[in-house]
Amino acid sequence: MLKVGLTGGIGSGKSAVSALLRERGAVIVDADGIAREVVEPGTPGLAAVVAEFGDGVLLPDGTLDRERVGRIVFADRDRLAALNAIVHPLVGARMRELEEAAAPDAVVVHDVPLLTENGLAAMYDLVVVVDAPVETQLDRLTSRRGMTEEDARARIANQASREDRRAIADHVIDNSGSLDDLKARVDALWEDLARRAA
Ligand code: ADP
């Protein structure tokens, strides 16, 4: 198994690369997605969160009010630690389950938005960074995601710089061009990853 960490700044095209790698046969492990899954209605995770925070953190439809929880833990380190103590082990267990189910020659790609910021490169055999100029990130975030330019700039400024990301990359995928350009680059990347995994 080849364990790959995939990261990139917001709007760089990380999700697009992840989807293309999945199409080519990669097993995708999406930490943010798993963190949502483990507290879906009916899960022991959600029951534990409600036991800790009260049923005021539930929306009328029984799903977790993520915004409300976010506001509670943002202001209080102890509450954040309590939330993490519930969610992190569940996420870790689910990730191990997905890895254990993968074939011996699988390419397992972990989609990790804050890989650079959190210094996690050593956890992976290889780090792939999706890179695009800041102006391109801004353009995608405003035209395709409906963010204001100010909001998009603030989000980008809060993350690692392109240089910081490139410094920990084994592969940099340039996504400054068209989606067809990106597909060709992902094909070349996939060839290398699949060869290494085999
Ligand atoms: P990220 O996951 O890095 O935040 P996404 O993959 O969601 O970014 O890309 C942001 C937006 O830009 C999406 O709407 C995506 O479809 C679009 N996009 C990504 N790459 C390209 C590209 N090369 N050309 C045009 N649009 C792109």
Domains, the chain, with CATH or none: 1-26+106-198 (3.40.50.300), 36-104 (no CATH)
Euclidean distance between CA atoms 46 and 52, whole angstroms: 10
Mean pLDDT over 108-122 rounds to: 96
Mutate to test the pocket of ligand 1, among 6, 10, 14, 15 (most ligand atoms within 8 A of CB): 15
Count CB-CB contacts under 10 A for residue 103: 11
- Expressed in angstroms and rounded, the spacing between residue 182 Cα and the centre of ligand 1 is 10
Q: What is the pLDDT of residues 45-92, one digit of tens each?
A: 999 999 999 999 999 999 999 999 999 999 899 999 999 999 999 999
Q: Which ligand 1 atom is at minimum distance from the Cα of 177?
A: 23
pTM across the whole model: 0.90
Whole-angstrom CA distances from 167 to 86, 119, 130, 131, 160 are 33, 12, 12, 12, 11
Q: What is the pLDDT of residues 167-190, one digit of tens each?
A: 999 999 999 999 999 999 999 999
